[in-house]
């Protein structure tokens, strides 16, 4: 699944090509996404200028003069900027035509993504939309730190990996980056979150910020389905220390990386470095 760095990379790639343009057309080849595209959507968006773009967690919000486009890439979705003459490939479900002759194309083999028009502006959607209003802080924002994690963890008993993947605690820390951040902080992913001390969370919050920041700079984590807005794969995977490396030697101590199911997700860790 595209994680926060992939979505942020996509935002930065498409933003200068969309902001200030006008939507001149919407071609829907396959409306059956996770939330079906309603037949009236083209009339809602065609003719509207694009005012701004922003990201909240893994959601993209494109502000129009009236309402917003609400996008989630799902398990395998991607957005590409192409010319209006570009022939669609299989799984290219939607094209947003722009006034400069360009086109934003939504590609989603598994059709778990979302591409909808909502009547709210981004500012209102952030506080009213049911998928946005209860989200925790952004991990790269000033309101996320170790004290925030420590405070919320006192009344919880779940594994610390599941705790930091809770979108009400902090957004955008998916399975890959949770495993990697816990390795960087030398914390076993199955430890109960309420037994960790304040200093544990100081180190863990710092690791989350550093990892996500580095991944954004390098274009995201290479997954089987992920490509960025130009169709190129991300390049962060070569730096992964534990994720997907079960049985391989730890880069720090040499002990084989182990794998364990935590919260129905595969978790990777070093049994010697992470306690």
Catalytic option among 2, 122, 139, 189: 2
* Residue 3 known to be catalytic: yes
Residue whose pair of structure tokens reads 């003069």 in the numeric block: 65
3-state helix, strand, coil in the chain (%, to 5): 30, 25, 50
d(CA 177, CA 8): 14
Is 91 a known ligand-binding residue?
Answer: yes
Catalytic residue among 12, 34, 265, 272: 265
Q: Please, which residues bridge with residue 52 across strands?
A: 63
Decide: 4 and 172 in contact? Cβ < 8 Å: yes
Q: Is 198 assigned a ligand-binding role in the annotation? A: no
Q: Per-residue DSSP letters for 124-136?
A: HHHHHSTTTTT--
Q: Residue 69 has which token pair?
A: 């486009």
In 3-state terms, what secondary structure has residue 176? Answer: helix
58 catalytic residue (yes or no) = yes
Residue 176 exposure: Cα atoms within 13 Å on the Cβ side: 20
Q: What is the DSSP letter of 60?
A: E
Q: Is 55 assigned a ligand-binding role in the annotation?
A: no
DSSP line for 70-85: EEE-TTT-EEEEEETT
Q: Which of 3, 8, 180, 229 is catalytic?
A: 3
> Among residues 58, 80, 161, 245, which one is catalytic?
58
| CA distances for 33 relative to 111, 188, 264, angstroms | 5, 37, 25
Say if CB 94 and CB 105 are below 8 A apart: yes
245 is catalytic: no
Contact (CB, 8 A) for 250 and 26: no
268 in Cβ contact with 184 (< 8 Å): no
Active site residues: 2-3, 58, 265
Sequence ranges of the binding site for DNA: 91, 110, 156
């Amino acid at each position: 699944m595209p994680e926060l760095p992939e979505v942020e990379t996509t935002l930065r790639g498409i933003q200068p090509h969309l902001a200030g343009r006008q939507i001149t057309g919407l071609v829907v080849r396959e409306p059956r996404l996770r939330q079906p595209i309603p037949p009236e959507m083209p009339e809602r968006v065609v003719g509207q200028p694009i005012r701004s773009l922003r990201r909240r967690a893994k959601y993209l919000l494109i502000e129009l003069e009236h309402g917003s486009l609400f996008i989630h890439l799902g398990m395998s979705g991607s957005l590409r900027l192409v010319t209006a003459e570009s022939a669609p490939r299989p799984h290219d479900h939607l094209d947003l035509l722009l006034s400069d002759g360009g086109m934003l194309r939504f590609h989603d083999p598994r059709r778990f993504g979302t591409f909808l028009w909502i009547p709210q502006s981004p500012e209102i959607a952030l506080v009213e939309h049911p998928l946005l209003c209860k989200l925790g802080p952004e991990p790269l924002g000033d309101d996320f730190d170790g004290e925030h994690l420590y405070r919320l963890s006192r009344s919880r008993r779940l594994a610390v990996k599941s705790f930091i993947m809770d979108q009400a605690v902090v957004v955008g820390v998916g399975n890959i980056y949770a495993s990697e951040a816990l390795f960087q902080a030398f914390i076993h992913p199955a430890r109960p979150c309420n037994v960790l001390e304040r200093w544990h969370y100081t180190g863990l919050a710092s690791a989350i910020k550093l990892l996500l920041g580095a991944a954004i700079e390098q274009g995201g984590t290479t997954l089987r389905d992920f490509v960025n807005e130009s169709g190129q794969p991300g390049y962060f995977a070569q730096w992964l220390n534990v994720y997907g490396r079960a049985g391989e030697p730890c880069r720090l101590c040499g002990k084989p990386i182990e794998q364990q199911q935590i919260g129905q997700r595969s978790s990777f860790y070093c049994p010697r470095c992470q306690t």
